[in-house]
């Protein structure tokens, strides 16, 4: 079965998919993404240096988890099962929130670096949710 926004596994339970995620939920993630974008920009502009590299790592880094499944067989719209654990781990908001909180406990410049990393990482997670990418089931398909 195919949707306009993604591929569902045959016999998949109906529920929250890229095509059915509530507009309110997407709007909430979008608001969070806007705040995290602003915070990331403020951190990188104010502190420069390593915060720029950490902001890039936060925005791009979570998708490096996809490399865990490199070379593994998978279908359209499916992550290789070996990549599901690492992908789900870095696409939950708790680790970037912990980085932001950890930054609040440190002195400068480590505080700015860790907070900027956390904001950029949470930006990545929020944008993924806005466009309909969520966590994956054990078989690699969207939950």
DSSP string, 50-93: HHHHHHHHHHHGGGGGGGGGTT----TT---HHHHHHHHHHTSS
pLDDT recorded at residue 21? 78
* Residue 138 near residue 37, CB atoms below 8 Å: no
- Tell me the β-bridge partners of 20: none
pTM: 0.85
Q: Give residue 16's pLDDT.
A: 46
- Alpha-carbon span 9 to 24, nearest angstrom: 25
For the chain, 143 residues long, give each residue's pLDDT as a single digit of tens. Answer: 444 444 555 555 444 455 567 899 999 999 999 999 999 999 999 999 999 999 999 999 999 999 999 898 888 889 999 999 999 999 999 999 999 999 999 998 999 999 999 999 999 999 999 998 999 999 999 88
CA angle 87, 63, 41 (to 5 degrees): 125
pLDDT of residue 135: 93
- Maximal CA-CA distance, the chain: 52
The tens digit of pLDDT for each residue in 12-28 reads 544 445 556 789 999 99
pLDDT at position 84 is 96
Q: 37-76: b or e for each residue (b if 16 or more CB lie within 10 Å)?
A: bebbeebbeebeeebeebbeebbeebeebeeebeeeeeee
Residue 77, pLDDT score: 86
> From CA 8, how far away is CA 6, in angstroms rounded?
7
Please provide residue 142's backbone torsions phi and psi, each rounded to the nearest 5 degrees.
Answer: -60, 145
- Output the pLDDT for position 58: 97
Where do the domains of the chain lie? 23-67+83-130
- pLDDT recorded at residue 12: 53
């Amino acid at each position: 079965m195919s949707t306009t926004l993604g591929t569902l596994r045959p016999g998949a339970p109906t529920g929250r998919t890229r095509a059915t995620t509530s507009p309110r939920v997407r709007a909430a993630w979008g608001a969070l993404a806007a705040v995290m974008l602003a915070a990331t920009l403020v951190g990188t502009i104010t502190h420069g240096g390593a915060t720029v590299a950490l902001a890039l790592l936060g925005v791009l880094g979570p998708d490096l988890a996809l490399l865990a499944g490199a070379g593994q067989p998978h279908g359209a719209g499916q992550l290789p099962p070996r990549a599901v654990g690492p992908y789900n781990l870095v696409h939950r908001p708790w680790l970037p929130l912990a980085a932001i909180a950890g930054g609040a406990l440190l002195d400068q410049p480590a505080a700015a670096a860790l907070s900027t990393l956390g904001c950029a990482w949470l930006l990545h997670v929020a944008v993924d949710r806005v466009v309909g990418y969520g966590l994956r089931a054990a078989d690699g398909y969207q939950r």
